[in-house]
Structure 1
Amino acid sequence: MEQQASEVILASQAALTQASRLAVDYSFSILGALLLLGLGWWLSALVSRWTHAGLLRLRGFDETLARFFANVVRYAALILVFVTVLGQFGVQTASIIAALGAAGLAIGLALQGTLQNIAAGIMLLVLRPFRVGEYIETGAITGTVVEIGLFATELRTPDGLYRLAPNSILWNVPITNFSRHQTRRAELKVNIDNSDKIDEAEAILRAQAEADPRVLTELGVSTHVEQLAGSGVVLTLWYWTRSSEFGRTSQDLMKAVKTTLDRSGITRAPA
């Protein structure tokens, strides 16, 4: 009986000693892991800020794109720290990396459409076919750009409506940017009667355009015969103006040309 009691005591002491040793070993491992996590979190945030600031120093680099790459760097650093911490506890990091790769592949396949929008958003931000505040037109989308995101682009239509366009749609179609260049050529077509003098009508059109201060006469004002129709002659006036004044200038010039032609006795033929 005494022998059994002694064996129990010895076994308990051995277990206690082993538990104490494990507690000491794992306490240092846990403490080291916590320190490593804290240091990794701080360094990842620091590197992210450095990346963001460094990219913004590049001329013309977009704020949204800089923030995106800064976040990518931060999360990549955090994943590296997490894998390193698990390695401190004897976990096979190669298996973790393989599992993360498989998970990334599965997520990529599941979010294929979303990733296409992200890739298109990055290309739009890098190549900049349009910027915020510019008026663009694609096959089915027209409006002023309000915000360019990684997933979609926000626009405001000419009638004041809100429109959200996925970036993959904008990237895969031709884009016409009406605001990119500061100047823009406009044209005005006028039908006159066959009995009217072409030279006189062309002179009136050029004079009317040159009299408008918004018309950039240094870039040229010209007229030509566009078409000889059965009901009359189609004249075309070409002139240049600033892109920001294009619409209003065209409207005012059409009204002024109509008034001047009527006063000159030139008959406008039906279209």
Structure 2
Amino acid sequence: MSELLEQLDINQYFPAALDWASNILLAIVILLIGLWFAGKVNKMIVAGSKNSKHLDDTLFRFLGSVARYIIIAFVIIAVLNRFGVQTASIVALLGAAGLAVGLALQGAMSNLAAGVMLLVFRPYKVNDFIEAAGRFGKVTEIDLFTTILQTFDNQQIIVPNSQIWGDQIINHSHFDVRGVDMHFGIAYDESIDAARAVIDGVLAAHPHVLKTPAPFVEVETLNNSSVDFLVRPFCQGEHYFDLLYSVPEQIKKALDEQGIEIPYPHRKVILVNETNKEI
């Protein structure tokens, strides 16, 4: 054993060992600095959300994560390069794998792209009442892939963002003041001015109807059996459904009290009694 140690020339392996040790040390330094820098960039991007009131925090968190993982990927490639690994083939392999994953997750990617557009342009926000993708409800959560709605009967609806972005979006909460359209018909024999006065009285007494802008009460259509009014009171957005479901009942009762007829479709049948004629 001693003879074997004497024959072993340590100086022969010292340069290689020193080279490997320096590479390992440098790789550790690159890795630590890269991870620190990736985390720093992520925090800087997330902190940028505080300076922008028009963009959602979720978008900044997503962009921060993307930037962090991209930096970490380059750091890992740099570390492998220190050990003589051919990184060009690895980059090509990662590109091919990314393309394959993108094709396999095409639907998810379309939802992701739509989610980014929704978070950038913000056609709605949390707590807004919207109508989109054939659904209506209160927005409880917006993420990169889906929008979650809560209906009036406390159902949770999860809608893919691609369905929302590719269709019409109606935001019922965008403006603070809302108009509530309603239609009422009276018989042709009734006085239009008297009916308008009754409707105006109901709206004036309602606590949620705004004085400015003034309610709109005008004849809209002359139907077959009725003279139809378009009634549009204005209210704060949070009282929209209070007016929508309370005013029709109040107007119906007020018209009944004044003896103003609300007609329903009817048909007049005329019977003709024909006598036999002598030939």
With normalisation by structure 1, the TM-score equals 0.90
Residue equivalent to 1:93: 87
Q: Which residue identity lines up with residue 110 of structure 2 in the other structure?
A: Q
Verify the 8 A CA contact 1:201 1:266 in the aligned structure 2: yes
**Within 1, Cα distance between the matches of 2:6 and 2:111?**
65
Greater fraction helix: 1
Q: Is the 8 A contact 2:38 2:67 kept in 1?
A: yes
Indicate yes or no: 2:24 matched with 1:27.
no
User: Post-superposition shift, 1:21?
Assistant: 2.9
Is the 8 Å Cα contact of residues 180 and 243 (structure 2) preserved in structure 1? no
SS across alignment from 2:233 = strand
Deviations 1:213-246 (A, max 9, x none): 3112211222222222333322222221112101
Cα pair distance change 1:12/1:151, threshold 3 Å: farther
Q: Does 1:144 align with 2:138?
A: yes
SS in 1 for 2:232: strand
Q: Which residue does 1:135 correspond to in 2?
A: 129
The whole-number CA distance in structure 2 between the counterparts of 1:263 and 1:60 is 51
C-alpha separation in 2, matches of 1:187 and 1:140? 21
| 1:150-177 superposed Cα distances (whole Å, 9 cap, x missing partner) | 1111111221111111111111110111
Residues 153 and 166 of structure 1 are in contact (CA less than 8 Å); yes or no, is this contact kept in structure 2?
Answer: yes
Cα distance in 2 for residues equivalent to 1:232 and 1:111? 57
Residue of structure 2 equivalent to 1:228: 222
Aligned equivalents of 2:133, 2:99: Cα separation in 1: 33
Over 3 Å counting, the alpha-carbon distance change for 1:12 and 1:157 in structure 2 is farther
Aligned to 2:164: 170
2:108 is aligned with 1:117: no
| Runs of 4 or more above 6 Å deviation | 8-11
- Amino acid of the residue matched to residue 241 of structure 1? C
C-alpha separation between the residues in 2 aligned to 1:196 and 1:10?
Answer: 121
SS of the equivalent of 1:218 reads coil
The equivalent residue for 2:45 is 51
- Structure 1 residue 17: deviation in Å? 4.1
Contact 1:192/1:268 (8 A) holds in 2 = yes
Question: Which string of whole-angstrom CA distances, capped at 9 and with x for unpartnered residues, describes residues 111-149 of structure 1?
Answer: 111111111000000111111111111242221111101
Give the letter aligned to residue 185 of structure 2.
Answer: N
Equivalences for residues 72-83 of structure 1 within 5 A: 72-83=66-77
Quote the residue 1:258 is aligned against: 252
Cα distance, 1:11 vs. partner? 11
> What is the CA–CA distance in structure 1 between the aligned matches of 2:76 and 2:5, rounded to whole Å?
40
What's the Cα RMSD here? Answer: 2.0
Between the aligned residues of both structures, percent identity stands at: 37
Q: 235, 245, 248: which one pairs with 1:241?
A: 235
Q: Counterpart of 2:21 in structure 1: which amino acid? A: S
Contact 1:136 1:178 in 2 (8 A): yes
Question: Counterparts of 1:152 and 1:264 in 2: how far apart (Å)?
Answer: 52
Counterpart of 1:4?
Answer: none
1:165-221 CA-to-partner distances (Å, cap 9, x unmatched) read 111111111011111111111122222122111111112112221222311221122
Q: What is the aligned partner in structure 2 of residue 179 from structure 1?
A: 173
Aligned-residue offset at 1:9: 6.6
Q: Unaligned stretches of 5+ in structure 1? A: 1-7
> How far apart are residue 13 of structure 1 and its match?
3.0
Establish whether residue 38 from structure 1 lines up as the match of residue 60 from structure 2: no
Evaluate the alpha carbon distance shift between residue 26 and residue 183 of structure 1 in structure 2; reply closer, same or farther with a 3 A threshold: same
